[in-house]
Amino acid sequence: LAKTTQPISMDSYEGQEVNITCSHNNIATNDYITWYQQFPSQGPRFIIQGYKTKVTNEVASLFIPADRKSSTLSLPRVSLSDTAVYYCLVGDGGGGFKTIFGAGTRLFVKA
């Protein structure tokens, strides 16, 4: 099973760009990289998913180098409402037992 490693916590200020890096050294050939966001008292919410290179949507960008052993979630111009826990998952894109949630990265955005 592919294990992921993320920073435990990060601090930022409003308006800054935040980059959260996730390491997944034993990622399998058919694994996707998926990021979820979780606010207190809510279930996680899908942010973005990618396989290689760069993926961008209205919320974030995901950068994946050629060796796919790491990935970086980029949040442009964060606001106070982006304060949350961010999880990096590696697996087939679904929630099966081959996809494991780690402890996530607690992002705290300050005014």
> Binding pattern to other proteins, positions 84-103, x when CB under 8 A?
---x----xxxxxx-xxxxx
Answer left, alpha or beta for residue 104, where phi above 0 means left and psi between -120 and 50 means alpha: left
Q: Tell me the residue length of the chain.
A: 111
Examine residue 45 and tell whether it contacts other proteins (CB under 8 A).
yes
In the complex, least distance from residue 70 CB atom to other proteins, rounded to whole angstroms: 19
Cα gap 33→85, rounded to integer Å:
17
28 C-beta neighbours (distance < 10 Å), count: 14
Binding-site member from 13, 46, 51, 108 for other proteins (CB under 8 A): 46
**Nearer residue to other proteins within complex by CB, 43 or 111:** 43
Q: Chain-centre distance of CA 3, in angstroms?
A: 13
Q: Using CB under 8 A as the criterion, which residues of the chain lie in contact with other proteins when the complex forms? A: 34, 36, 41-46, 49, 87, 92-97, 99-104
